[in-house]
Amino acid sequence: MDSATAREQALDAAEELFYGRGIQAVGMDDVRGASGVSLKRLYQLFPAKEQLVEAYLERRDVRWRGRLAEHVARCGDPQERILAVFDWLESWFGEDGFRGCAWINSYGELGATSARVTAQVRAHKGAFRRYLDGLVADAGLPGALAGQLFLLAEGAMVTAGITGSTAPAREAREAARLLLRATAR
Amino acid sequence: MDSATAREQALDAAEELFYGRGIQAVGMDDVRGASGVSLKRLYQLFPAKEQLVEAYLERRDVRWRGRLAEHVARCGDPQERILAVFDWLESWFGEDGFRGCAWINSYGELGATSARVTAQVRAHKGAFRRYLDGLVADAGLPGALAGQLFLLAEGAMVTAGITGSTAPAREAREAARLLLRATAR
DNA sequence: AGAAAGGGAGAACGTGCGTTCTCCATGCTG
DNA sequence: CAGCATGGAGAACGCACGTTCTCCCTTTCT
């Protein structure tokens, strides 16, 4: 088996297990079993578990923001694009196996012990925040709105994860709509 | 040493350690060292670590909601009371050792493996949500507003925890103020 | 064909930790 | 004083898991 595909398979298994069960609850042996990549090869590709965790978060970050941006870009109107963020959240919350935001969960698990994980969580949230900044600027709205939308989105992710409901996305969307109207005047 | 005070000392130490370092990163021996309560006694009081964790979350829930309600009750005006929630969040975020919401962090750590912890997180968030429901009803505002305020508060807690800044509380307060004005008419 | 390198399966090693046990000191009861 | 319960200190036990090692098979190069 090719080394690049072994890496992908390992990351596929790691993502499903880490996200679904939590990072600390998953052993390297579980990753081996789910991926079919032997322990020897796993440790060649990722010299320690922490590096597998980092690679998991990094790849998921790229994909997550890509999926969001792709969905949002389908909207032409700048204000609609802002609301489309919350529509996408709703469809994400409804996916099988949804269990909250991977970065918020990772922060809860490892934020106090791993500086690398904390840095990756901050980087991910910073990138999402800047993405919202861009959408708000494109709509010609004041920058302060982006922070408020960000908080709504984060609150929705956390609440959807804990309750298992998609409703927070719609509530956040409605709040965002009101804030847009109030801010645009 | 009295059994009741041993229990309090154990819980004091457990709370500081679990909240500050994460639950899984803290061993029963750490709790013993920090509390001065011997292992034998610890296991008499809490037959397993999970029960110590539950007692920690439960006691913190009562205290957390008590402190919030106490602060909010100092405001006479019903609409001001709603905004006072976010003022209290800001002072909480600024406390030494603040590291985000204990329940959100616990959910990230143990939500996938411990049904008891998940239930306690849901109970805590449900109680906070109902508290907001009450404040909104007292102000004569429509119930849908409470859900939006709840999401703002949750987003602020998560973001303050991850970034270590108190700013999310002010951003959430400003968003809440706008939603109040937009909803009140 | 023979040698050598690579990889898989899984045993082995070391450590951390939840939990229990041993041993001993202390203080109370008859 | 004898005896007994209580509790502390810390060793001991069992297990899980991150990491490494052993053994064997396959493939490839000469």
Predicted pLDDT at A184: 80
For residues A3 and B17, give the distance between their C-alpha atoms in angstroms, rounded to a whole number: 42
| Per-residue model confidence as pLDDT tens digits over B101-142 | 999 999 999 999 999 999 999 999 999 999 999 999 999 999
Distance from C-alpha of A25 to C-alpha of B29, rounded to nearest angstrom: 21
CATH of B60-184, one of 1.10.3720.10, 2.60.40.10, 1.10.357.10, 3.30.565.10: 1.10.357.10
Q: pTM of the predicted model, to two decimals?
A: 0.96
DSSP 8-state assignment for residue B141 = -
Average pLDDT score over residue span A34-46: 96
Do residue A161 and residue B111 have CB atoms under 8 angstroms apart?
Answer: yes
> B70-98, pLDDT tens digit by residue?
999 999 899 999 999 999 999 999 999 99
* d(C-alpha A171, C-alpha B147), whole Å: 7
**DSSP secondary structure string, A128-141?**
HHHHHHHHHHHTT-
Q: Do A112 and B99 touch (CB under 8 A)?
A: yes
Verify whether the Cβ–Cβ distance B151 to A171 is below 8 Å.
yes
The pLDDT of residue B185 is 67
Indicate the CATH number for domain A1-47. Answer: 1.10.10
B39 CA to D10 C1' in angstroms comes to 10
* Closest chain B residue to A120, measured at CA: B162
**Cα dihedral B89, B95, B100, B105 sign:** negative
The reported pLDDT for the residue numbered A133 is: 98
Q: With 80 as the cut, is the pLDDT of residue A185 above it?
A: no
| Confidence band of B17 (pLDDT split at 50, 70, 90) | very high
A134 CB neighbours strand D below 7 A: no
Q: Are B183 and A159 in contact (CB under 8 A)?
A: no
When pLDDT is averaged across residues A43-68 and rounded to a whole number, the result is 98
pLDDT at A2: 87
Q: Would you place residue B1 in the very low, low, confident or very high pLDDT band (cuts 50, 70, 90)?
A: confident
Given this model, what pLDDT does residue A127 score? Answer: 98
Segment B153-167 mean pLDDT: 98
Delimit the domains of chain B by residue range.
1-47, 60-184
Cα–Cα distance for residue pair B102/B110, rounded to 1 Å = 12
Residues 115-174 of B with CB under 8 A from A: 118, 121-122, 125, 144, 147-148, 150-156, 158-159, 161-163, 167-168, 171-172, 174
| Overall average pLDDT of the A37-42 stretch | 96
> What letter would DSSP give residue A46?
S
A90-113 pLDDT, tens digit per residue, is 999 999 999 999 999 999 999 999
Instruction: Say which CATH superfamily domain A58-184 falls into.
Output: Tetracycline Repressor, domain 2 (1.10.357.10)
Q: Which residue has the tokens 């507003």?
A: B145
Judge residue A160's burial from the number of C-beta atoms within 10 Å of its C-beta, 0-12 exposed, 13-18 middle, 19 or more buried: buried
